[in-house]
């Protein structure tokens, strides 16, 4: 463990008005610069999707670039960028909301223009994500226990597949950024599943990690590693190298000072290959830790 950041050590850079910001339910960096600056998108508790840029100056400042309303009396629940593999300064964003809808937006010339919106799930649409390798395909997961796929070139009223393999709400989805066709999903049912996007009838591998799998993140450079934020059971690093043969295994479990684990991500710097940031809800804690791969981990 490298150490733990206490909340009062994290200095806000959003300016004087940040105390009035609504609750943020998801946030993701843009894989590409926007107007020459790092940028991130978020969705919040008043149903807005917003983009922010970091100003290039001696003191880091964050400026709101734009925002778009996702609907009346809804919470924004998740978002994803289309430009992780196919780089673009005019990407699309997909968002999901508490009314079960999924939205697609096009970013061009400083404007976020709605492309389409549809009712994807009967209850909350907890998560939406692009297929990193084919951004005509969008995945969604909802509190109706459904994992669905949508082809944006077709009528969005009918999914290209609808799976009820998860037994509870589907909370997290991510397309692998390293290996085409691989997809991982997490659910309140405590299971991490890995899929082949070409055949969605059954998952390739299934691992119960406990606690409710709120977030899943592939390692940005190693397709064998998946990080999970399991709400009531800390965080797990999973070896998925043999997932195509139906095998996965936990190689590291971190559960120090965790009180409802909601967030987890890998460091993208090559200098810190297995550095991980995680955060938990009730104790307002941000943890920074790492693990070391050893021979028996990879078998």
What is the model's pLDDT at position 280?
A: 85
The owner of tokens 């297929």 is 131
Res. 200: pLDDT tops 80: yes
Res. 297: pLDDT tops 60: no
- pLDDT tens string 143-160: 999 999 999 999 777 999
What is the model's pLDDT at position 258?
A: 84
What is the model's pLDDT at position 49?
A: 97
- Rounded percentage of the chain residues whose pLDDT exceeds 70: 91
- Radius of gyration, CA atoms only, the chain: 18
Query: For strand 137-141 and strand 101-108, is the pairing parallel, antiparallel, or unpaired?
Result: unpaired
Mean pLDDT for the stretch of residues 111-117: 94
Give the CA distances from residue 246 to residues 95, 103, 230, 238, 298, in Å, rounded to whole numbers and listed in that order. Answer: 31, 33, 21, 13, 15
Mean pLDDT for the stretch of residues 64-91: 94
| CA–CA dist 38, 263 (Å, integer) | 21
| CA–CA dist 93, 41 (Å, integer) | 9
What is the model's pLDDT at position 103?
A: 97
Say if CB 41 and CB 65 are below 8 A apart.
Answer: no
- pLDDT tens string 246-294: 999 999 999 888 888 888 999 887 777 789 999 888 888 888 888 887 6
Which residue would you say has higher pLDDT here, 193 or 299? Answer: 193
Closest CA to 79 of 70, 88, 87: 70
- 120's CB contacts (< 8 A; 6+ apart) are 96, 100, 101, 102, 128, 140, 142, 148, 150, 159
What is the model's pLDDT at position 19?
A: 54
| CA–CA dist 262, 46 (Å, integer) | 20
Closest CA to 222 of 171, 276, 147: 276
- Rounded percentage of the chain residues whose pLDDT exceeds 90: 68
What is the model's pLDDT at position 5?
A: 35
Say if CB 239 and CB 224 are below 8 A apart.
Answer: yes
What is the model's pLDDT at position 69?
A: 96
What is the model's pLDDT at position 287?
A: 87
| CA–CA dist 33, 8 (Å, integer) | 30
| CA–CA dist 287, 280 (Å, integer) | 8
Mean pLDDT: which of 10-19, 45-54, 101-110, 140-149 is highest?
140-149
């Amino acid at each position: 463990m490298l150490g733990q950041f206490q909340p009062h050590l994290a200095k806000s850079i959003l300016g004087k008005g940040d105390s009035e910001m609504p609750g943020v339910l998801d946030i993701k960096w843009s894989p590409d610069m926007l107007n020459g600056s790092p940028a991130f998108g978020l969705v919040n508790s008043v149903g807005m999707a917003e983009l922010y840029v970091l100003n290039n100056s001696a003191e880091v400042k964050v400026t709101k670039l734009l925002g778009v309303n996702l609907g009346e009396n809804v919470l924004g629940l998740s978002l994803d960028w289309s430009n992780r593999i196919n780089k673009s300064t005019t990407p699309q964003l997909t968002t999901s909301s508490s009314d079960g809808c999924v939205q697609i937006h096009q970013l061009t010339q400083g404007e976020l223009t709605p492309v389409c919106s549809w009712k994807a799930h009967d209850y909350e649409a907890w998560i939406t994500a692009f297929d990193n390798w084919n951004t005509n395909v969008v995945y969604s997961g909802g509190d109706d226990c459904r994992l669905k796929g949508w082809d944006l070139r077709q009528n969005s009223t009918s999914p290209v597949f609808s799976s009820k393999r998860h037994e509870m709400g589907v909370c997290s989805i991510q397309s692998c950024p390293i290996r085409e066709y691989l997809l991982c999903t997490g659910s309140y049912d405590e299971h991490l599943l890995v899929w082949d996007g070409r055949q969605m009838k059954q998952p390739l591998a299934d691992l119960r990690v406990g606690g409710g799998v709120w977030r899943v993140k592939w390692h940005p450079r190693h397709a064998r590693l998946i990080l999970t934020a399991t709400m009531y059971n800390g965080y797990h690093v999973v070896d998925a190298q043999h997932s195509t043969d139906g095998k996965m295994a936990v190689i590291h479990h971190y559960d120090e000072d965790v009180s409802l684990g909601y967030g987890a991500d890998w460091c993208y710097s090559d200098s810190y290959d297995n550095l991980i940031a995680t955060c938990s809800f009730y104790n307002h804690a941000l943890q920074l830790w790492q693990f070391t791969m050893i021979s028996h981990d990879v078998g």
